[in-house]
Amino acid sequence: MSLKLLPVALLLSLGTSAQTTNHASFVNPLIGTHRMGHTYPGATVPFGMVQLSPDTDTIPYEVNGKYVPDVYKYCAGYQYSDRTIVGFSHTHFSGTGHSDLGDVLLMPTLGPLQLNPGTADDPASGFRSAYAHTDERAAPAYYRALLQDHDIDAELTASTRVGMHRYTFRKGGDAHVILDLVHGIYNHAQKNVWTFVRVENDSLITGFRQTAGWAKTRTQYFAIAFSKPFKSFGYNTGGDKETYRGFWGKFNTRQNFRELIARQLRAHFDFDARDGEQLLVKVALSPVSAQGALRNLRAEVPHWSFDRVKNEGQQQWNKVLGAVDVQTIEPADRINFYTALYHAYIGTTVYSDVDGRYRGLDQEVHTATGFTNYTTFSLWDTYRALHPLYTLLQPQRNADMVRSMLAHYRQSAHKMLPVWSHHANENWCMIGYHAVPVLVDAVLKGAPGIDPKAALEACVTTARNRQYEGLGPYMQYGYVPEDKSGSSVSKTLEYAYDDWCIAQLARKLGRTDIYNEFSKRAASYRNVWDASTGFMRPRMSDGSFLKEFDVLNTHQRGYIEGNAWNYSLYVPHAPEAMIGLLGGPELFTAHLDSLFTMELPDKYFEKTEDISRDGIIGNYVHGKEPSHHVPYLYNWTGAPWKTQERVRHILPRMYRPEPGGLGGNDDCGQMSAWYLFSALGFYPVTPGSGEYAIGSPLVQSATLRLGGKTLRIEAAHQSAQNVYVQSVTLNGKRLTRPFIRHADLVQGGTLRFVMGPVVNKEAFK
Amino acid sequence: MSLKLLPVALLLSLGTSAQTTNHASFVNPLIGTHRMGHTYPGATVPFGMVQLSPDTDTIPYEVNGKYVPDVYKYCAGYQYSDRTIVGFSHTHFSGTGHSDLGDVLLMPTLGPLQLNPGTADDPASGFRSAYAHTDERAAPAYYRALLQDHDIDAELTASTRVGMHRYTFRKGGDAHVILDLVHGIYNHAQKNVWTFVRVENDSLITGFRQTAGWAKTRTQYFAIAFSKPFKSFGYNTGGDKETYRGFWGKFNTRQNFRELIARQLRAHFDFDARDGEQLLVKVALSPVSAQGALRNLRAEVPHWSFDRVKNEGQQQWNKVLGAVDVQTIEPADRINFYTALYHAYIGTTVYSDVDGRYRGLDQEVHTATGFTNYTTFSLWDTYRALHPLYTLLQPQRNADMVRSMLAHYRQSAHKMLPVWSHHANENWCMIGYHAVPVLVDAVLKGAPGIDPKAALEACVTTARNRQYEGLGPYMQYGYVPEDKSGSSVSKTLEYAYDDWCIAQLARKLGRTDIYNEFSKRAASYRNVWDASTGFMRPRMSDGSFLKEFDVLNTHQRGYIEGNAWNYSLYVPHAPEAMIGLLGGPELFTAHLDSLFTMELPDKYFEKTEDISRDGIIGNYVHGKEPSHHVPYLYNWTGAPWKTQERVRHILPRMYRPEPGGLGGNDDCGQMSAWYLFSALGFYPVTPGSGEYAIGSPLVQSATLRLGGKTLRIEAAHQSAQNVYVQSVTLNGKRLTRPFIRHADLVQGGTLRFVMGPVVNKEAFK
């Protein structure tokens, strides 16, 4: 049937089908909220500055100076198995392994005032409340829970910079809204630095909260508006020794005093509630100032319609989710897919006000001119697949993220691109300088509005910082010696890949000097190769390999978040050379097979941080990022069907449509991005190369709107058994190798897979 | 001799004589630095934001939770009797009784690095150094001391927003500049809130220091430039438990790491010094941001000439000091006069950047458009004579201060004009709402650029704040009941006067309603008058007077910083009525005589806070402001010669040209302003009335440049014995009462006193 023959009405219907499908309804934000996923179930819009979500506990990371391991559980503030809600805070990371945030917690209560949160075992001992999942609803831009202790229906929604609460008091009485500025995620005794709150009038408060946590010097400004005037207010300092009160001591500053200032502060705002009365609260955030928050509030939500904010938020979601319209055989796969896309789109977040102003890494206020400033760059995770996903589906946003990273570089005292950047801070988490592959991949794929020379200069300056994490010795020895800097193999391999990226950009810009310098550095992976064991192995500055070397137990012995088995496979820019080191394609294929099938003894697993057994297949650790490209390596050994098989094995096991369905941290969307690419049938093994490796699609079909172009992906004969690719054609032209170029995909057209139940070794011939 | 007949050359010479006299050379900044004066000896320009001065000790106000009374000594950071200097910090109050500041302390050292200040007894135990007054020099915009322990000549100078240091290393060696951000004046364990420092390059650092002291939430931004690159740097946290280090822990952040972040931070910058080498350091401040400080640095001191900054600073001083050109019989009196003028002109300080931006009371950044923003308003002290002095001699600056106070009002969560405002904070020190007389006096005297209606609205709103310090009960009962709010008599009397001021402005603007309301309130002083004792007396809310009432011992019993004897005379807006209450002019004169001549037993004196015996004459407490108008009250009893006698008695006793020469705190210049008015022969007993009371001039003559007009004051037959005024003429017209109008004085001309050794009871007939 030719489109030319279709009636106009039908054409319109086809053309708008994506809009009319409620893609947001396929998202279940509760996926990943049990155990390891570390996602949050609350209300947010795509890339929203506000992540308004229930927190179910507040375990500090240390008690009496001792580390509390259980703190990892609460990276997103919420654990599905918990039975109480402490309140609703406005900032959350999605899927991280360490954490921070949990700012500006509000909790509505009924009855006698309680200014401590109480305990999970005895919620009545504080303002927290029991809740049940039967009364809970989580959807894009919407969350609801019944706070049983207070008989209050609490609903949440959000715009980009404003969170909105709707509290329905099922029974009237003495109502309070607790503003807990002690509360935070990943606490320690010294975390709260300062709190400043102004009661502007009887329904508006402004202020800031300053913390020293994962972000060493972070300030969150806010403005809070109530739909009804409070009748009184007050605060306490939660047992914290109050700072010098001076002549403030002559006032009763605890009650109805319009400035609330302390290091640890919990405030209450008091109301008389009638049966069934609804109280609305709008909370705007700003990285700049309380007035900035107020401007955000007035610009984004100048009204008091909760439903309007919710509807507009869900429209935003439908727009970005609907740009990728997939059909799957199993409804569960569609839920997985859109939830993964949802998680991918909350991994990085807007960090500038409606007027473009933001706080920079130098703690100064800057204006983002011509772009939106973003934060939450967990780059060790996200350079792999999340930023390539953005480059494909959200190229303008990704370009803005790159511009945000370049601004970070300009503001850096260390003259470095971000490593792990959040909220005007560099938290230095993990290793490498993986803003480099993000920049290079984006620039080489034609990201708009980026000066390639400035990008190259930032990459080169970053990569030459001799103070950073063994980089001086790396430049001196050709590898990071373990005796000079720990996790030396991980660093050497990742530096080498990042350096290769720099060389690619340098070549593109005709900078042969830089190309040569960094191409040489890119070969550094060879310097940690130990032919005697067949693994990458920590090496000392005297040239010898580290003597103690158990390839399974490499905890803090040359590797980070991965063992020698997984990490030794990390040479994404030179897989053929790596395969050569391991004895050629056949031996390498067998080596890979061993990885996926070996039995990992418990004693080794126990050393693996923060993933569940579910996150491991054999000794392949999908819950940790260094493995993510590994299933695709068979494409380089002449055995692409093994990639297809592994990918289809991994997909349903590592991603299940249930709260405990993620086998590891979602890591700001990197785990989800792996799912999304893999489900569509290809994966960016080597960002910066311009190529994707072909896998085995999970979807039946997909329509991707890529700017003005449309890419249609079809998987003929798709089924749970038909995991083997028989052939692939792009616009009718057969692929003769299991790779496809980004530049070809973004021209649009149809990428057609033919699937079958048996291996076709000739699929790419 | 008519001016018309003078040759042109002589005219020019006369016209410029004030410029060619080095008035700055008459200033001795060391006056008041011993014991009670609480002045500082360091370098500053008129109203400078930077007060760069040596600190000789750092006593915290509490140790182990217990208050340390000796802390009062160090309000200005310096005590003349001390033998060691800890370092040079950039912010100091002049003459206050409580304190704060002492920000950004620098100390140059030679030899092994020491990162604690050491003790006064053993300066070698730390970086502090012994010094001697013989090697010390203090002048306007200049300070020098020889740091004996380090053999370093340290010189200081300043522009408005930039302090400049010149360190001459007499001997070369391992040199360090210590940047002590733990150091501060009026410390307590929790005072330091946060410190953020960036090493921008090898000779420039920027940052901020945040404290919670007398100002509850204060942030001082800075930029520091060295004339020579440092070779290395580092810091420690002075024993303070470090906050969560997170992944910063993988770096050695203590050495050469370009971000220094902690709660308690002392940094060092290391140099090799040659024999005789000079190291220059520029330190700029900003209330807005580190970049603001950098802009101030580049705008005010773009060069490296210490002498140029010093010369320009002293030119500024000569300009403002030279606008009042006085001749005195004793050289000591000239030193007293210009030192008092100097202290008057460092009492309030500029608090906006070169671009007009400043931090407001709401902690937001504002721009002062059309005015310079000022801070340091110790209004309970300074409404009496300092602001009237500014109105006379610095009307534009005083108008800017009024505009700064109105901005404070607009930014106030409490909708109140400042009480004691410093550095974007209200510290609530002392009582009353004495911005009101400042505003009213300025507006009624025609201060430029102030909207009278806005001023009235701010005054009225402030005065109606029922939450403030017994103001609700005051409005209800007609007085502040002692059982509702302490210091009730002081408050009642001062509120009544402030209310009278509001009524005067309301009348001027035709607001009869407000005039009537506040005129009624202005009579409230009558409600605490106790005819049975002849004193103002604390009264309870049931109408009874407080039973226990010892008129000499009123510490915390109805009065603050004054006893019933002194405070009962405080009805400046209705002296005749007050005199009537006390039995009429004759009885009142005798009552005043008693005040000045009675013997105050030690047991009462001991309760008087922070003044010396020198500050008292009989029971007249000149060291405390409530007495300041008292010597002038004889003008209302028909015995002006007694005012003349008392004033000339007080002047040489309370103001002596030596470090211990001030009998009480200079209080941001109020004590000095009393001196200046009194030395010129008149005093503003009732700001808001437009009148001055005549006293007895100390000067022989004075030429005051008042905008375009010149006022010449002459005291014919002046001598130490000739204290009695025989007659006073203004432009040849004889005064028939011992008062003179501001409006007449500012027309210029000649105010001529004829002095004599005996009382002339007909002087004003």
Closest residue by Cα to residue A397 from A368, A372, A370, A424: A372
Q: Reduced to 3 states, what is the DSSP secondary structure of residue B396?
A: helix
- Is B185 found in the same domain as B57? yes
How far apart are alpha carbons A144 and A30 in whole angstroms? 12
Contacts of A250 in chain B (CB under 8 A): 428, 469
Closest residue by Cα to residue A460 from A418, A518, A512: A518
How far apart are alpha carbons A185 and A181 in whole angstroms? 11
Q: How do residues B209-252 score in pLDDT, each as one tens digit?
A: 999 999 999 999 999 999 999 999 999 987 676 667 788 888 99
Q: How do residues A540-550 score in pLDDT, each as one tens digit?
A: 999 999 998 88
How many structural domains are present in chain A? 1
Q: How do residues B180-217 score in pLDDT, each as one tens digit?
A: 999 999 988 889 999 999 999 999 999 999 999 999 99
Q: Reduced to 3 states, what is the DSSP secondary structure of residue A588?
A: helix
pLDDT at B269 over 90: yes
pLDDT at B104 over 50: yes
- Token pair recorded at residue B363: 């902690």
How far apart are alpha carbons A102 and A40 in whole angstroms? 11
How far apart are alpha carbons B705 and A701 in whole angstroms? 89
pLDDT at B190: 87
How far apart are alpha carbons B173 and B545 in whole angstroms? 72
Mapping DSSP onto H, E and C, the string for B582-621 reads CCCHHHHHHHHHHHHHCCCCHHHHCCCCCCCHHHEECCEE
Residue B453 within a domain: yes
B273 in Cβ contact with B333 (< 8 Å):
no
Contacts of A291 in chain B (CB under 8 A): 362, 364
- For residue B231, how many other CB atoms are within 10 A of its CB? 12
Q: What is the pTM of this model?
A: 0.96
DSSP track, A414-440: T----SEE-SS-B---SSS-THHHHHH
pLDDT at B71: 83
Q: List the CATH number of the domain containing A72.
A: 2.70.98.10
- Residues A452, A455, A460, A463, CA torsion sign: negative
B28 in Cβ contact with B39 (< 8 Å):
no
- Is B192 found in the same domain as B112? yes
Contacts of B244 in chain A (CB under 8 A): 61, 188, 190-191, 212-214, 216
The minimum CA-CA distance between A245 and chain B, rounded to whole Å, is 8
Q: How many CA atoms lie within 13 A of B57 on its CB side?
A: 18
For chain B, count helices (H), then strands (E).
19, 38
Out of B465, B481, B505, pick the residue that ends a domain. Answer: B465
Q: Identify the helix (H) or strand (E) that includes residue A65.
A: none
How far apart are alpha carbons B104 and B114 in whole angstroms? 17
How far apart are alpha carbons B432 and B570 in whole angstroms? 13
B337 in Cβ contact with B681 (< 8 Å):
no
Out of B319, B340, B357, pick the residue that ends a domain. Answer: B319
A88 in Cβ contact with A54 (< 8 Å):
yes
How far apart are alpha carbons B316 and B339 in whole angstroms? 15
How far apart are alpha carbons A42 and A312 in whole angstroms? 16
- Is B372 found in the same domain as B260? no
- For residue B758, how many other CB atoms are within 10 A of its CB? 11
Residue A84 within a domain: yes
Q: List the CATH number of the domain containing B371.
A: 1.20.1050.60
B195 in Cβ contact with B210 (< 8 Å):
yes
In Å, how far are B439, B593, B668 from B442, measured between CA atoms? 5, 33, 19
Contact B214 A289 (CB under 8 A): no
Contacts of A216 in chain B (CB under 8 A): 243-244, 246, 248, 259, 261
Amino acid at A600: L
Q: Which residue of A has its CA nearest to B431?
A: A247
- Is B313 found in the same domain as B373? no
Q: Most B CBs within 10 Å: which of A258, A259, A461, as the mutation test of the B interface?
A: A259
Average pLDDT over residues B390-407: 98
Residue B543 within a domain: no
Distance of CA A414 to the CA centre of its chain: 25
Helix axes A452-463, A488-508, angle to 10 degrees: 150
For chain A, count helices (H), then strands (E).
19, 38
Q: Identify the helix (H) or strand (E) that includes residue B347.
A: none
Q: Which residue of B has its CA nearest to A196?
A: B217
The count of CB pairs under 8 A between chains A and B is 139
Choice between A100 and B19, residue whose per-residue pLDDT is larger:
A100
The minimum CA-CA distance between B201 and chain A, rounded to whole Å, is 8
Which residues form the domain of A225? 36-319
pLDDT at B249: 87
Q: Dihedral of the CA atoms B547, B552, B557, B563 (nearest 10)?
A: 130
Q: Which residue of A has its CA nearest to B250?
A: A469
Residue B172 within a domain: yes
Which of B198, B244, B291 comes nearest A413 by C-beta? Answer: B198
Mean pLDDT of chain B: 94
Residue B39: pLDDT band (50, 70, 90) is very high
Closest residue by Cα to residue A651 from A633, A624, A678, A621: A678
Task: Find all residues with CB under 8 Å of B194, minimum gap 6, and list them.
Answer: A193, A194, A210, A212, A217, B208, B209, B210, B263
Share of chain B above pLDDT 70, in %: 95
Burial class of residue B155 (count of CB atoms within 10 Å of its CB; 0-12, 13-18, 19+): buried
How far apart are alpha carbons B53 and B44 in whole angstroms? 8
A585 in Cβ contact with A637 (< 8 Å):
yes
DSSP track, A532-552: TTTEE--B-TTSPBPS---SS
- Residues A401, A406, A408, A409, CA torsion sign: positive
Q: How do residues B42-100 score in pLDDT, each as one tens digit?
A: 999 999 999 999 999 978 877 777 888 788 899 999 999 999 999 999 999 999 999 99
Contacts of A241 in chain B (CB under 8 A): 190
Residue B216 within a domain: yes
- Is B388 found in the same domain as B304? no
Strand order in the sheet with B724-730: B324-327, B701-706, B709-716, B749-756, B724-730, B733-734
Reduced DSSP (H G I as helix, E B as strand, rest coil) percent helix, strand, coil of chain B, to 5: 35, 25, 45
Average pLDDT over residues B328-349: 98
Contacts of A265 in chain B (CB under 8 A): none
Residue A29 within a domain: no
Which of A208, A289, A428 comes nearest B250 by C-beta? Answer: A428
The minimum CA-CA distance between B288 and chain A, rounded to whole Å, is 9
- Residues A471, A476, A479, A484, CA torsion sign: negative
Average pLDDT over residues B503-523: 98
Burial class of residue B275 (count of CB atoms within 10 Å of its CB; 0-12, 13-18, 19+): exposed
- Token pair recorded at residue A612: 């569940």
- Is B77 found in the same domain as B220? yes
How far apart are alpha carbons A30 and A658 in whole angstroms? 7
Contact A216 B257 (CB under 8 A): no
DSSP track, A110-122: ESS---S---SS-
- Is B372 found in the same domain as B249? no
Share of chain B above pLDDT 90, in %: 88
Q: Most B CBs within 10 Å: which of A64, A68, A244, as the mutation test of the B interface?
A: A244
- Is B383 found in the same domain as B315? no
Mean pLDDT of chain A: 94
Positions of chain A with pLDDT under 50: 1-19
Q: Most A CBs within 10 Å: which of B210, B291, B364, B465, as the mutation test of the A interface?
A: B364
Q: Which residue of B has its CA nearest to A215?
A: B246
- Is B371 found in the same domain as B310? no
Residue B75 within a domain: yes
Strand partners for B144: B137, B155
Q: Which residue of A has its CA nearest to B243?
A: A190
Residue B33 within a domain: no
